[in-house]
Amino acid sequence: MSEALRAALQHKLADLLGGEVRIDRFALLAGGASMEAWAVDAQTPQGPMALLLRRGAGGRIYRDALSLEQEHRVLQAAFAGGVTVPQPRGYLGDLLGRDAYVMERVQGEAVGRRLVQKPEFAAARKALPAQMARELARIHALDPAGLAFLPGAGTPSPLRHGLETLTAQLDALGAPYPALELGLLHLRTHLPFEGAQVVCHGDFRIGNFMVGPAGLASVLDWEFAHLGDPREDLAWPMVRNWRFRVDHLRLGGIAGPEEFLERYHALTGRSFTLRELRPFEMLGAVRWAIGALSQARRHLSGEERSVELAVLGRLAAEYQHEVLALLDEGEGS
C-alpha cells in the first residue's frame, strides 16, 4: 500500500512541480479514520523539499468541515494574506482513491499539554499571546469573496448558521443532554447575531499551532474555517478545555487574556471587552462538549475504535459541568 502510494505521489508531484521528483522518505505520521498525514522528503526541480501530505481516509465526519480541496484553497488564501501557515504546495486531487494535498512540513511541537506544561517552552509561552493576536488579525482581514464555499457564506447571519449547525450536531448524537440544551437556549437568546462577518479559523487554539523555541511557527488545522463573528476565534482559545489544566491562565493555559486582546485591538481597530466575549466562551464550551460527544460516537459506531475517543464520552461530564458553571456565573448579568 505504502509503496503504491509513494509511486502515485511521485508521479503527481512530478506533474505539479514540472520535472523529475524522487521521494527519499515517505512515513505515516498520523492516521485516523478521517485523515492521514505523511512526511515526505523529496528531491524536486526546485531543490529538496520537506513536505506534508494530507490525504483523506474515508468518510467525512464533521458536519460543515471543509473538503481537502477547500482546505487547500483556504490555506492558499491565508498564505497570500501573510498568515503564518505552512506554504501550500498543491492540491493533488485523487491519490489512489482519496483526496490529497501537499504543503510545506514545519518543524516544532504542537501537542497542547506539552506546550503548556514543559519548562523548555517558557519563552514560547511568553511570545505566543502577541503572536496569536497578530495571526488572528491577519486571518480576520482575509477577503471572503474568493472563499464563497465557506460554511456561513451567503447566509444573513453566519453566527446563527453556526448555532443551527451545532444544534443539528447535538440532535445527531441521538441521546438527550439537557445541560447542553440549556446552553443552546442561552446562546439563542444571548449571542449578538448581527456582528461583523469575517473569515474565522474555527479551531484557533493551543494544540493547533506548530510552536518552536521562539513561539508560533505556523497556524495549522484549517478544516473548520468558516464565515463568522471575530469573537468566535477570540474566545475559543480561552475555553477551559484548551487551557490544558492550567485553568487560571485563561488564554490557553499560557497567559491572561489582556495582552492577546490588546494586541488584537491595536491591530484591527476592533475592541471587545471580556464581558462581550462571554457568550462566545459559552458557545465554545457548548461546541467542545458536543464535539467531544461526537468523537465518542465515532468509537461507538465502530468508525474509529479508540480508547481516547471512548473516554471522551464520559469526560463530557466535565464539559457539561463547564457549560452549567458558565450559565451560573452569567445569571444576574
Q: Which residues bind other proteins (CB under 8 A)?
A: 175-179, 181-182, 184-185, 240, 245, 247-248, 306-308, 310-311, 314-318, 320-321, 324-325, 327-328, 331
User: In sequence order, which residues have a C-beta less than 8 Å from that of residue 48 and are 6 or more positions away?
Assistant: 41, 42
Q: From residue 304, how far is each of 41, 58, 77, 262 by CA, in Å?
A: 29, 11, 32, 42
Least separation, in Å, of the C-beta of 62 and other proteins?
22
**Burial call 153-181: b when 16+ CB within 10 Å, e when fewer:** beeebbbebbbebbbebbeeeeeebebbe
* Residue 325 beta carbon to other proteins: minimum distance, rounded to whole angstroms: 8
Given CA atoms 217, 210, 86, 154 in this order, what sign does their dihedral have? negative
By the 8 A CB rule, do 256 and 250 touch? yes
The least distance separating other proteins from the CB of residue 289, rounded to whole angstroms, comes to 11
* Cβ neighbours of 121 (radius 10 Å): 20
Q: Which is nearer to other proteins, 131 or 208 (CB)?
A: 208
- Minimum separation from the CB atom of position 240 to other proteins (A): 8
- Cβ-count burial of 315 within 10 angstroms (0-12 exposed, 13-18 middle, 19+ buried)? middle
Nearer to other proteins, 142 or 296 (CB): 296
Closer to other proteins at the Cβ: 266 or 324? Answer: 324
Distance CA 119, CA 122 (A): 5
Count how many Cα atoms sit within 13 Å of the Cα of residue 102 in the half-sphere of its side chain: 21
Closer residue to other proteins in complex, CB, 7/300: 300
Nearest residue (CB) to other proteins, 15 versus 329: 329
Residues 6+ apart with CB under 8 A from 160: 191, 193
Q: Would you call 255 helix, strand, or coil by DSSP?
A: strand
To other proteins, the closest distance from the beta carbon of 225 in angstroms equals 27
Comparison of 49 and 52: residue with beta carbon closer to other proteins: 52
Query: CB of 328: closest distance to other proteins in angstroms?
Result: 6
Euclidean distance between CA atoms 222 and 142, whole angstroms: 14
Smallest distance from the beta carbon of 215 to other proteins, in angstroms?
A: 22
| Closest CB to other proteins among residues 13, 115 | 115
Give dist(CA 80, CA 311) in Å, integer. 40
Report, in Å, the least distance between residue 20 CB and other proteins.
36
**Beta carbon nearer to other proteins, 16 or 182:** 182
Closest CA relative to residue 293, chosen from 160, 162, 187, 172: 172
